[in-house]
Structure 1
């Protein structure tokens, strides 16, 4: 790195600006503890303000004159464009502001952590890791079949020798120093993975943002933009970063690998020789959460493609309707005085145009027989009960009307009884007469017709035509 590049980073990089800020200890202590140590994604503004308020309360108990600004003001300053330590946004299906840490905050916090003195610095395990990586590079890129077979046989001979030694009880175990050294390397690698995910997510988010900007300002054809966006989506997947992330994501989602990681972490946490970090007990779940957030950022680009297509279809349909209305308006304007010469001469009064795919397929419709006239001779008792239930009819009063008019052992037509006692409850009262059966009163219908006049509940005159009913007192 030359002087100019370092000077630009010192002036413009958000991580370096954070280290130069006056309240850098507060930013690193609070935001690093919330987002980095706890591996949290987006946090709502209300929750983050409350946490910062509690943090400042603990600080003021020791030093009342330190960091006196309001917690919400601090968050707004840290999320400003000239700071870049927090990302402020509205997530989908939420009307509350959320905050998320940026890779700059992650880098600054990791650098501050690296300044702490370490009582133990392991080197042997890292040397073995470096040698193993070199072996993977060399043997993984080997294309000669004989060399590859020779390497596999060498590893098999070493495993068989180790297996034979183990069967007779001779094997080497790691001492306490080697255990602590390897655990230290594992913890550092696990935290670096979480930090890398945040940076990968930021890179993908930048690609998604550029796609949104391109869609918002596009004025060309739909096909050209789609080709460009699909190419961008393919570049994300085909890049080294995209392929590596996808391979890690597929490996992490393996049920077998999840079970193996859970068992190994539980075994490591139970070793008495190690001073374990309890935050690493479920680090593989933190990896999965961070990877899912990154994967969601990639999915947003596909969502933008879908929304763009829907918007374009609506715009094109609107344009077609505008053209049709313009043609109709022009036709109405010249309807009374059509132009004599429009610059087109044809032998026929019209040009028939019939496109093949405009012809609908034959769709035979079945004949439907509609019979909307019910049989007048059929009276359904259930329907009568339903009508009576809609409005209360005093059948006892109707029976008293019949007893007052009809002598014993005689029959009188129902329309004559209603002429003496007019209907008060509408058609339900007429049906009430027909439903009387018992207590010496029977109602029978004949083939003749009768007409009954009555008024409905609103006072409007009504008339019903029905079979003549004879009321008999036994």
Structure 2
């Protein structure tokens, strides 16, 4: 570690500033209770202010510790210090979430305070061995080594099958179960912290782009080349490729169904029931990972929107400048039309002039005449129209659709709209699809992934038509 880098980190890193703050016990304890203990990603300003007011009152009356400022002032300071990030929702409500700097600080303090009952070593060693086997045997140039390993795995699987058929079980010990469950929860916490860092990296790119967009002398080509190159570097990096593979895996309905089944089976184990109250991360694993991935995508979409606005504004300004130059040329030409320049060569063109001959022009094409005919208007009669159409209207019951969603979420941690339609086919056409979209738009737990499209087959029993539509993927998550 370089001395100057460590010194700069101590002076400017928000994580270290949080640990060195005068009221760091208040900040760390309160934020950990509100976000980590409650497994909450974001809270509204009103809720956070109210909870902070109650917490300050508790410290004053129970612990004798007094903080004189108002809760809103503390939240504003914490946001300016990059401990919290605020955003406006569609209905103009302010929401707060932890920054990745605060996530790191809370994670580190938690590990310092909490004393683990045991430090598991067996499961991690087995993980290392299995990973080494995967690296070694899947990348070896010797097919014999690969074949021998596969035969060995086959023999082990056949032996396990024989034991199962004979009713012989070989379960893990209580220590092994608790150790593996602890490793899973810790890995999940690490992944969520890593997602915060990935989101922070995209936010930095977005901020740098915004700074460059306000510079008047920067060219479109320069900023586009730099931003696109940076995005390509991120996407083609090991981190970007791993994130893309992770997201594709998480969006697979087959993988999600298997994951739900594994989680459900794991949580029924008696030893897990005894320790799972210490951590609620496994139950909401898929939902949390999905929301973390969507937040990264939203930041990336924000960057694309900024570039789009920049290009539109620059194009408008350039066209306006061209029209101003042409107008100036016309004004000058009109002023000197009676006193033209005396020099013969008053204007030079570096390139060759393009000559367009008259015969090169296309022939004149006569306009097509539109023939209008006058029809006699006949007065209508009430008997000519079928009034039964007015009584055959149908409506979509959103409560019924919401009931279908909740019914499927009882057995799945999350379910896609395509899976819902496969279970409950659409019978009222596009109106029923629009009702599902409205439900997802009003549901904070639902995820609308615009980067992934799905094709669905729907039907309308009234019109007796059946057709397919293509729309963004919609995923409903369990609360």
TM-score normalised by L of structure 2: 0.69
Unaligned runs of 5+ in 2: 381-479
Partner in structure 1 of residue 102 of structure 2: 105
SS at match of 2:161: helix
SS at match of 1:273: helix
From 120, 123, 126, the equivalent of 1:122 is 120
Unaligned runs of 5+ in 1: 383-474
| Per-residue Cα deviation, 1:275-303 (whole angstroms, up to 9, x for no partner) | 21334312211011001101222233332
Partner in structure 2 of residue 467 of structure 1: none
Partner in structure 2 of residue 158 of structure 1: 156
Partner in structure 2 of residue 298 of structure 1: 300
Question: Cα offset for 1:208?
Answer: 2.2
Do 1:32 and 1:105's aligned partners in 2 also have CA atoms closer than 8 Å?
no
Q: Distance in 1 between matches of 2:41 and 2:363?
A: 55
Partner in structure 1 of residue 54 of structure 2: 54
Question: Cα offset for 1:157?
Answer: 2.0
| Per-residue Cα deviation, 1:30-76 (whole angstroms, up to 9, x for no partner) | 22233334454454433432332233334344235422311111111
Shift in alpha-carbon separation, 1:254–1:381, aligned structure 2, 3 A: closer
Partner in structure 2 of residue 468 of structure 1: none
| Per-residue Cα deviation, 1:253-275 (whole angstroms, up to 9, x for no partner) | 11111112222222222222222
Do 1:36 and 1:106's aligned partners in 2 also have CA atoms closer than 8 Å?
no
Question: Cα offset for 1:364?
Answer: 6.4
Equivalences for residues 35-54 of structure 1 within 5 A: 35-54=35-54
Do 1:32 and 1:106's aligned partners in 2 also have CA atoms closer than 8 Å?
no
Equivalences for residues 181-196 of structure 1 within 5 A: 181-196=179-194
Partner in structure 2 of residue 79 of structure 1: 79
| Per-residue Cα deviation, 1:373-413 (whole angstroms, up to 9, x for no partner) | x9xxx99778xxxxxxxxxxxxxxxxxxxxxxxxxxxxxxx
- Superposition RMSD on alpha carbons, in Å? 3.3
Shift in alpha-carbon separation, 1:89–1:293, aligned structure 2, 3 A: same
Question: Cα offset for 1:334?
Answer: 2.5
Q: Distance in 2 between matches of 1:224 and 1:13?
A: 31
Q: Distance in 2 between matches of 1:265 and 1:241?
A: 27
| Per-residue Cα deviation, 1:230-268 (whole angstroms, up to 9, x for no partner) | 111101101121111111111111111111222222222
Do 1:39 and 1:194's aligned partners in 2 also have CA atoms closer than 8 Å?
no
Deviates more, 1:69-78 or 1:277-286: 277-286
Partner in structure 1 of residue 396 of structure 2: none
* Residue 261 (1) aligns with residue 250 (2): no
Equivalences for residues 207-226 of structure 1 within 5 A: 207-217=205-215, 219-226=217-224
Q: Which has the larger radius of gyration?
A: 1
Partner in structure 1 of residue 29 of structure 2: 29
Deviates more, 1:153-162 or 1:62-71: 62-71
Q: Distance in 2 between matches of 1:178 and 1:122?
A: 8
Q: Distance in 1 between matches of 2:187 and 2:23?
A: 29
Partner in structure 2 of residue 367 of structure 1: 369
Do 2:43 and 2:96's aligned partners in 1 also have CA atoms closer than 8 Å?
yes
Shift in alpha-carbon separation, 1:232–1:364, aligned structure 2, 3 A: farther
Do 1:233 and 1:301's aligned partners in 2 also have CA atoms closer than 8 Å?
no
From 321, 326, 336, the equivalent of 2:323 is 321
| Per-residue Cα deviation, 1:325-363 (whole angstroms, up to 9, x for no partner) | 1122112322444445463599xxxx996599x989987
Question: Cα offset for 1:142?
Answer: 2.1
Q: Distance in 2 between matches of 1:135 and 1:287?
A: 28
Shift in alpha-carbon separation, 1:285–1:242, aligned structure 2, 3 A: same
Shift in alpha-carbon separation, 1:219–1:190, aligned structure 2, 3 A: same
SS at match of 1:217: coil
Q: Distance in 2 between matches of 1:75 and 1:123?
A: 41
Do 1:86 and 1:101's aligned partners in 2 also have CA atoms closer than 8 Å?
yes
From 155, 175, 179, the equivalent of 2:177 is 179
Partner in structure 2 of residue 9 of structure 1: 9
Q: Distance in 2 between matches of 1:265 and 1:148?
A: 32
Shift in alpha-carbon separation, 1:62–1:205, aligned structure 2, 3 A: same
Q: Distance in 2 between matches of 1:94 and 1:343?
A: 66
Q: Distance in 1 between matches of 2:340 and 2:47?
A: 72
SS at match of 1:79: helix
Q: Distance in 2 between matches of 1:381 and 1:102?
A: 71
Partner in structure 2 of residue 331 of structure 1: 333
Question: Cα offset for 1:204?
Answer: 1.8
Q: Distance in 2 between matches of 1:133 and 1:228?
A: 37
Q: Distance in 2 between matches of 1:188 and 1:161?
A: 32
Do 1:44 and 1:96's aligned partners in 2 also have CA atoms closer than 8 Å?
yes
From 285, 308, 311, the equivalent of 1:309 is 311
Shift in alpha-carbon separation, 1:354–1:40, aligned structure 2, 3 A: farther
TM-score normalised by L of structure 1: 0.69
Partner in structure 2 of residue 143 of structure 1: 141
Question: Cα offset for 1:110?
Answer: 0.8
Do 1:39 and 1:286's aligned partners in 2 also have CA atoms closer than 8 Å?
no
Shift in alpha-carbon separation, 1:340–1:281, aligned structure 2, 3 A: same
Question: Cα offset for 1:15?
Answer: 1.5
